[in-house]
Structure 1
Amino acid sequence: MRNSKVTFFAIVLFSTLMMLSAQQNVTYNGKTFKPAEVIETQIGNSGETLSFTISEIDMSPNGDWAKKISELQRQGKTYNPKDAPRPLYLSLSVDFKRRFKFPIAEEDSVSINVSYVKESMLENEFNEEEVNKMNSAVSKTDISGLKSDKKSVEEEVKKISKLMQEGKLSPDEAMKKIEALTQPMLNTLENSVIMNQETEEFKENRSTYNILFGDSAGNTESIPYKGTLHIIEFNSKRLRAYFKGTHFVECTDVARANDKSKPCEKVETGLFPNHKVFRVEDISITIDTNFKTFYDNR
């Protein structure tokens, strides 16, 4: 009978532990999050965005660490920054560009292939092309005649102004003469290549993801910029998602950032001009967790 009770309690304990472990399983490139104080998710007021944040320690002004610092300050004591917690944290946001179906069930899972970084890079390239078009239009515009016309018009305007000051022309007459002088030059400018050059605006019509991972112990931040984010399940209680792709890692500590040898700028990403980082590598992310806080702002 006793053995039966022991077995029963062992099963209950094992089941409880399994349930607890199933509530939070978040890994980033092999680093597993410990039970987190912050697991928060929000849906934007337009129903087009979602955000997810997890941090092992609550470092906000309402967290235990901030309260501990306040208590020390009330006692007239100072805290040692080296004693501050060094949590892992991860933030994920998705901009669907349109209202997405909620909840997301496994049978209608979603894949997003473009990162916010990639979108920014494409926008920069697009804007550079537009600037090049405008520069080309400027080079094709003959402004030598305009410069000559401008000089003669300025001289005539001075004469008209003098006549008006001497009372020989009324303000209305002076304005009509000035308009008659400048109109041919304006017509020439309006018909020039540069004024007829059409410009376009970058169209943000793709769904994008933005991911930031922080390792406080290692003083690094990582940003995945290439790969696919799969959202398997998302409801008011749980998020299941995974990512496979490439990230770049940057240093967050001042000491390494200010080092003359620049150990934090070893690799050029090619994403933006002169963009150098600590390292670039392939990664995977797993998110399977319940939330402590959920906000539906629709």
Structure 2
Amino acid sequence: MSYVGPDFDAPEPRRPRRGPLMIAAAALVPAALLGWLVYEAVADSGGTPASATPRTGPSSAADSPADDGKLTGSAAAGAASLKGKVVLVDPGHNPGNFRHTTEINRKVDIGTNRKECDTTGTSTNSGYTEAQFTLDVARRLRTILEQQGATVKFTQDGDRAWGPCVDERAHIGNAAHADAAISIHADGAPQGDRGFHVILPASVHQGSADTRPIVGPSRDLGTRIRDGFNHVTGSPLSNYLGKGTGLVVRSDLGGLNLSTVPKVFIECGNMRDSKDAALLTSGAWRQKAAQGISEGIVSFLRG
């Protein structure tokens, strides 16, 4: 764009004499403008002028991608499908646990025995911690589930200096009356041990623990999460636990023993294996992990 400054004003052209045709055309401009304004006002108010033609094709708002990441178009139609459902998401460990070894090493009651409040978790050989991984996947999972209409509760969201302890993690889900609960982890097995597995609660009736009412629903939840995770991520089932099923039953985890709502753990991969670590440290893959977990949870909640 050229600029004509105050010292370089362009000379005004000679104005031609207006004839009758030009006067008539000038009179039509305000009328046309008024008509357009009325059209826009009707459209903005939600109405549709009788002469308007609906937009189709890629320019339609229903088909265009959303800039804010929210569901649009046909996906939005099912956005409230989980309305009224509560999901407890438990990001395993806590990035600050290593600074509070005294607190996390104290023993708490898990029903079958007493066990450490929490641990620091594992990490990749390059130093990417399990606690960082679990919190990132948990937040991605929350976004997906909330877009489906679910209410998502966290045991911790990076807002605590350490913990919570494993017994408190279970109690948070119980107090929320969660319809489903998932604890997200990554393993620290030897190099060569690959793949993911889902941990289910054993039937425990001892002390303050009674998992008998949730064993069946938890197996259903865990099986669906296994299938969804495998489908979306393409990750193999564990080659070192679960005998090729991707499912492991345990009675030594307080987060499961003390739960009164359907709950499972998922070990998303082995942080000490170079191939698995390459996946776990990828943001794109973690998004797939969250999507895979959500598919299983949504399937379970919809029955």
Alignment TM class, shorter chain as reference: under 0.3
TM-score by length of 1: 0.24
- Report which of the two has the higher share of strand: 1
Q: Which has the larger radius of gyration?
A: 1
